[in-house]
Amino acid sequence: MPVYTDQMNRVVDLPLAPSRIITLVPSQTELLFDLGLDKEIIGVTKFCIHPEDKVKQKVKVGGTKQVDISVVKKLKPDLIIGNKEENERDQAEELMEHFPVWMSDINDLDSALEMIRKVGHITGKADKACTLAKNIEQQFSNLTIQPFGKTAAYFIWRKPYMIAGKGTFINEMVKRCGLVNAFDIERYPEVISEQLIAAKPDVILLSSEPYPFKEKHIAEFKALCPNATVKVVDGEMFSWYGSRLLKAPAYFQSLELNR
């Protein structure tokens, strides 16, 4: 019997190839579909939006942080795929009492690629997953952006302001854009206007998710940091760590943040 270990170093007992999968993370949901597991996926969250034509046909099991465990139990999955950061610990542990649960833990490109390979292994799609991971790795190695010393503040929320700090996958992607995080703070802290002004970021990135920043918000940040370059960016390119990573390097190149 094969032994499967998730990214939290937990052994996941799965005697047979899974045929009833619930996925609790949007970026991993897209990955599973791209690996060809359309029939095996039986449940997704309400935030799983890609691929649109396929996720709408699946049962919704609540949100990433508010999973409806009663719905999950009715679906009787033989594998649940979640994430340490995006799913609530208490809910994940409750699900582990009833079903095999494989958890990812991702904060950089290497751990994202490991997740893709491991998910491929546990779902019987190892070859396809390894090819995908290799292609993503190649795309990033071809990224020609060089570090150019500018600092950046990446905003994920408004009222209150929240940023992506150090130790996050988003921070890793910001570095791939040649930028340095303007805030030496871990995880996703709240910041006030005075902190932003004091940080003097060269670039301010307003993410399209989870808060839906729009072009109309640029003036708000320009008023605080008039010398900064302010851009609304596609949050999926910075925070989705599944197969969407194939598209990220070209997107980062197109931002031309070093100009």
3-state secondary structure of 94: helix
This prediction has a pTM of 0.95
- In tens, the pLDDT along 198-236 reads 999 999 999 999 999 999 999 999 999 999 999 999 999
DSSP class of residue 12? E
CB 130 within 8 A of CB 107: no
The mean pLDDT of 248-258, rounded to a whole number, is 90
DSSP class of residue 7? T
**Most distant pair of Cα atoms in the chain: their distance:** 61
Which among 236, 228, 214, 216 has a CA at the least distance from the CA of 257? 228
CB 46 within 8 A of CB 62: yes
Q: Which two tokens stand for residue 231?
A: 């851009």
Percent of the chain with pLDDT over 90: 93
DSSP class of residue 228? S
Q: What pLDDT was estimated at residue 3?
A: 80
Q: Which two tokens stand for residue 70?
A: 């009663």
- In tens, the pLDDT along 42-65 reads 999 999 999 999 999 999 999 999
Confidence category of residue 259, pLDDT binned at 50, 70, 90: low
Domains along the chain with CATH numbers: 4-140 (3.40.50.1980), 151-255 (3.40.50.1980)
For residue 258, is pLDDT > 80? no
For residue 15, is pLDDT > 90? no
- Whether a cis peptide bond, with omega within 30° of 0, leads into 147 is no
- Work out the mean pLDDT of the chain and round it to a whole number: 96
